[in-house]
Each structure stands twice: as C-alpha cells, then as structure tokens.
Amino acid sequence: MVSVVFITNTTSIMKIFCVGRNYAAHAQELGNEVPDEPVIFMKPKSAMLQPHTPFYYPEFTNELHYECELVLRISKNGKYIQEKFAGKYYDAITTGIDFTARDIQNELKAKGLPWEKAKAWDNSAVIGKWVPIANIKNKKDINFCMYKNKELVQQGNSGNMIHNFDSLVAYISNYFSVNIGDVIFTGTPAGVGEVVVGDELEAFIEDESMFSLEIK
C-alpha cells in the first residue's frame, strides 16, 4: 500500500520531458534499437490533460496507442546535476499515459522527421495522483500496471528501466534546466496497444489506483 495525495490542478506544470525506449522489451516490440543514451523528447504544456476534463479520441489519427509510464515531479530548480545528487530534485511519482498517434509516428519515422505531430498534441499527456517519493520504500523496485476494460495490458517495474530515475534527471539537466513543476515521463514497458472510443483505462502503482480514464 502506498499513500497518495490528489492533484488539485496542473497549472503549475512547466515542461513535460519524455523518455523513449527506456525498457528493452518495449524497444524490441516496436522494432527499435535499444539506445546507449536516453532518447529525450518533449511535449508542450498544452499536452497535459487537465483534471476533470474528458479525453476525446483525436480526429487526425486512426491508430491511437496508450503508453503507461512512471512519471516524476521535479521539486527543485537545477542545471548540470550530478547523478549522486539527482534524488534531491524530485519529490513525487505517479503513473501517466503518453498517448501516441502510432500511424502518424510511423509515417514520420519512415521519413526521418520529428515526432511532435504524433506525440505532442493537446491532451496527449495524462497523469494521476501524486505519491510522495518519501513513501516509496525502494525506487528501484516500483511495480506499476494498466488495465484496459478491466483486463491487464501493461505491467512494469522501475528496476527494469535501462536508465534509472537519477540518471535520467542528471542526463536531462545537461541539456535543459529542470524547474519546479516540470514532469518526466520515464518510459513505457512492453505491452503498448491500441484504444478505441469507449475503452476504459486504469493505472496503478502497486495496488493503488492512480487514475481512470474513458476514451470518448
């Protein structure tokens, strides 16, 4: 059991960092190479689905995929952070979904173009209730999962990440300042898949529900 605190709003979010291919099995299921360094991309603030706002299937895609991830909340401003100090720069964790227009992403990848149209559109980022990091017994052993229509579709453990939380914070800070209110989507495990209108998604850390969402 983990203790949670509820999000009251997401207006304090500054930047949304995302990490691709941070679980070897997920990289392999999409036919991607496992990278030596973290694959970093970003979403704009407008990508964050606001609380109590319904999620609507976007009109520009015919293949919408969920990607459930652990998400960190940055609590301290920093730049060029050493990995051994990185744990002092985030204070909470939750689960989130990096919604992806897979058909558009595949087209962009084939042309060697950036992914923004596939991943950075309005409301493409969903986050749940925040769990204080202080309540986590072992950051390298956090179980999380997601159900679609009450059927388990994704499960992961933070210990299986190629790049752990502290190394991600340190790496990102070499290129970007991290600021209070930033969030980091730390990568998705294997099991990503398609959703359609009417599907219901629910994500957990351990046995605690972080959020539930219906595709409208």
Measured over all CA atoms, what is the biggest interatomic distance in the chain, rounded to whole angstroms? 46
Collapsing DSSP to helix, strand or coil, 135 comes out as: helix
Alpha carbons within 13 A on the beta-carbon side of 94: 21
| pLDDT band at 1; cut points 50, 70, 90 | very low
Is the CB of residue 211 less than 8 Å from the CB of residue 202?
A: yes
CA distance 71 to 200: 20
Q: What is the pLDDT of residues 191-213, one digit of tens each?
A: 999 999 999 999 999 999 999 99
Tell me the CA distances in angstroms from 31 to 20, 21, 40, 79, 109, one per residue in order.
13, 11, 18, 34, 12
63: phi > 0 → left, psi -120 to 50 → alpha, else beta; which? beta
Q: What is the pLDDT of residue 32?
A: 65
pLDDT at 4: 43
Residue with tokens 């920093």: 78
Specify the pLDDT at position 12. 76
State if pTM tops 0.85: yes
For 36-85, write each residue's pLDDT tens digit: 899 999 999 999 999 999 999 999 999 999 999 999 999 999 999 999 99
Segments making up each domain of the chain, as ranges: 16-214
pLDDT in tens, 169-188: 999 999 999 999 999 999 99
Q: What is the CATH number of domain 16-214?
A: 3.90.850.10
| 132 or 30, greater pLDDT | 132
Token duo for residue 197: 């209108």
Per-residue model confidence as pLDDT tens digits over 76-134? 999 999 999 999 999 999 999 999 999 999 999 999 999 999 999 999 999 999 999 99
